[in-house]
Amino acid sequence: MTFRLAHVSDTHVLSPEGVHWRELFFNKRITGWANTRLRRGRVYRRRYLEAVLDEASTADHVVVTGDVTNLALEGEYAEARRLLASRAGRAEITVVPGNHDLYLPSIRREGRFERHFAPFVRSDLPDLGVDVDAGRYPFVKLRGPAAIIGLSSAVPRPPFVSAGRLGWRQLRALEAILTRPEVRDRFPVILVHHPPVYSRGRWRGRLHELRDGLVDAASLREVLAPLPRGLVLFGHLHVRFRCRLGALDAVCASGAALDHSDETIRAGYNSYTLGQSGLTGIEARVLDSSGASLRRVEISERRGRP
């Protein structure tokens, strides 16, 4: 029996109604809105996203590693939920939050992510999760040979800071989950938005983690270190690559709607094939220059620094 997993990330869904000026001023959204207007509006293509989701949903399971919305607006959440729910009949869909999904403290207080995406984060082992900003994490889905474990690194941050954090309670819960027999006997697939590795020099990499990465990445790596095999899937960086994290494969997915000449950045998704013996295949499916079809592309390897 084989199990095919599609990995989508950073969809940055925009609201069909647009943005009202009252939603922008006097909060962090103004910087995100300006970024969309000055850069993302030229390179994010809605039809690319729909093409990627259509093909990805031919897999057995689709995982989305965060930044599902662009500014965490109610209209963006509703539209993202509609896009995912319309494809959930073909493949099961799992979502974890990114920093854009908890853009402001008010989004956390009202439980917007949990309210809209509850069907996509339902856990088979709910008692093992802890309450964090986005809901109850880690969650676990036991599917065939895979134990899919969702983490939340999304926390509200001040302007110009997009770093994530898991927190010690979530990390301890993850440690306990990994020892459960029903998890230990399967191939672990860890989902997190922020990168658990960096590819810069040690000091530059640490500064990057504090501003734009995962501030407790070292603690996550420590929890995962005893695992003899597994996948760690993430996004946030808008470029696809793979590297080693001890005995694990760590793989980043690019933005699912990006129009870009570089095929490591261009819209697409990653595909993983699992069997009873573990991981048997990794590849990317990337939109061609016309945006009409997707083609197979090898995922380049990088040396990730722990």
Would residue 302 count as lying in a domain?
Answer: no
pLDDT of residue 207: 52
- Domain presence at residue 265: yes
pTM of the model: 0.90
Does 153 fall in a domain?
yes
> Does 305 fall in a domain?
no
Residue 306 forms part of a structural domain: no
**Per the structure block, which two tokens stand in for 168?**
């010690």
Paired tokens of 285: 């499916």
Q: Is residue 92 part of a domain?
A: yes
Domain of residue 18, residue span: 3-297
Instruction: Report the CATH number that the domain containing residue 163 is assigned in CATH.
Output: 3.60.21.10
- Residue 290's pLDDT is 81
Distance CA 305, CA 288 (A): 32
Helices assigned H by DSSP within the chain = 29-35, 41-43, 46-56, 74-85, 105-109, 112-117, 168-178, 181-184, 202-212, 217-224
Q: What's the number of domains the chain is made of?
A: 1
Angle at 239 between CA 178 and CA 282, to 5 degrees: 55
The dihedral over CA atoms of 96, 98, 101, 102, expressed in degrees to the nearest 10, equals: 110
Residue pLDDT tens, the chain, 306 long: 799 999 999 999 987 554 444 444 444 444 544 455 445 444 889 999 999 999 999 999 999 999 999 988 999 999 999 999 999 989 999 999 999 999 888 888 889 999 999 999 999 999 999 999 999 999 999 999 999 999 999 998 766 668 999 999 999 999 999 999 999 999 999 999 999 987 554 544 555 565 579 999 999 999 999 999 999 999 999 999 999 999 999 999 999 999 999 999 999 999 999 998 899 999 999 999 888 899 999 999 986 554
The residue to which tokens 């640490």 are assigned:
206
Cα 53 to its chain centre, rounded Å, is: 14
Give residue-wise pLDDT tens across range 24-67.
444 444 454 445 544 544 488 999 999 999 999 999 999 999 99
CB 12 within 8 A of CB 48: no
The pair of structure tokens assigned to 37 is: 């207007």
Confirm if 241 and 235 have CB atoms less than 8 A apart. Answer: no
* pLDDT (0 to 100) of residue 206: 53
Q: Which two tokens stand for residue 228?
A: 């003899």
Non-local CB neighbours of 154 within 8 Å, separated by 6+ positions: 66, 97, 98, 99, 101, 102, 113, 133, 134, 164, 193
227 in a structural domain? yes
Q: Identify whether 136 is part of a domain.
A: yes
Q: How far is CA 274 from CA 3, 60, 137, 200, 300, in A?
A: 5, 11, 24, 31, 20
Residues 6+ apart with CB under 8 A from 109: none
Helix (H) or strand (E) holding 237: none
Is the bond preceding 138 in cis, omega lying within 30 degrees of 0?
yes
